[in-house]
Amino acid sequence: MSIFLQADSLAITNQTLLDGEPVVKTLSIWELLTSGGIGGQAIILVLFILLFFALFLYFERLMAINKASKIDSSFMNNIKMNIMSGKIDNAKMICAQTDSPVARLIEKGVSRIGKPLEDINTAIENAGALELYKLEKNTSMLATISGAGPMIGFLGTVVGMILAFHKMASGGGQIEVGALAEGIYTAMTTTVVGLIVGIIAYIGYNHLVVKTNKVVNQMEANAVDFLDLLNEPV
């Protein structure tokens, strides 16, 4: 009889050990993003819209800037040869057939040949300012998103903490940790997503600034070459 009691006791002990083992619960990214309640989901949706908009702006501007930076290496040589031989109309035609900021700058200068050099320089500077505006179009919005993303994420943090404290207050001091999960998830996930959006937009904005500066330097170098050509003695 005692043998059976010992066997039963051993079985119960083993079952208790098995039941007491910690269960590892996996959490997918989707569950993490959607477990913060309606408030957290709304904020995360706004952040994903900002992320999509930031990526669209970045790639659209990147393609436009890359297109603007491409110019035939023989472009300025052809312009110099035509101007030196007095073929102003041919130089204008070459500029018109070349779709780039540099070509439009030189075309503006070629169309002013015969006027005072100061007027030509002013016309090139005005054209350059217009081309720079085209290159920088909408890039400031990336900078705005890089700052707004983390701020919206921190807004979600505040909302999540308010929800958590509300649960604690309404629980009368007997609230369980599991009841605070919605507020904690809202606080954490919105902060992470907001920071990710801000980092991506910030990196994209600075990369576009660097690419734009290269095109501006290219325009300035070719404009100086053109003005030097006009200053050469005949």
Domain residue ranges in the chain: 36-228
Q: Give every CB contact of residue 160 below 8 A, 6+ residues apart in sequence.
A: 36, 39, 40, 182, 183, 184, 185, 186, 187, 188, 190
**Whole-prediction pTM:** 0.74
Provide the residue-wise pLDDT of the chain in tens; the chain has 234 residues.
444 334 444 444 444 434 445 444 454 555 555 555 576 678 888 999 999 999 999 999 999 888 888 877 788 888 888 888 778 888 888 888 888 888 888 888 888 887 888 888 888 888 888 888 888 888 889 999 999 999 988 887 777 777 666 666 666 656 665 555 556 666 678 888 889 999 999 999 999 999 999 988 988 888 888 888 777 655
3-class secondary structure, 113: strand
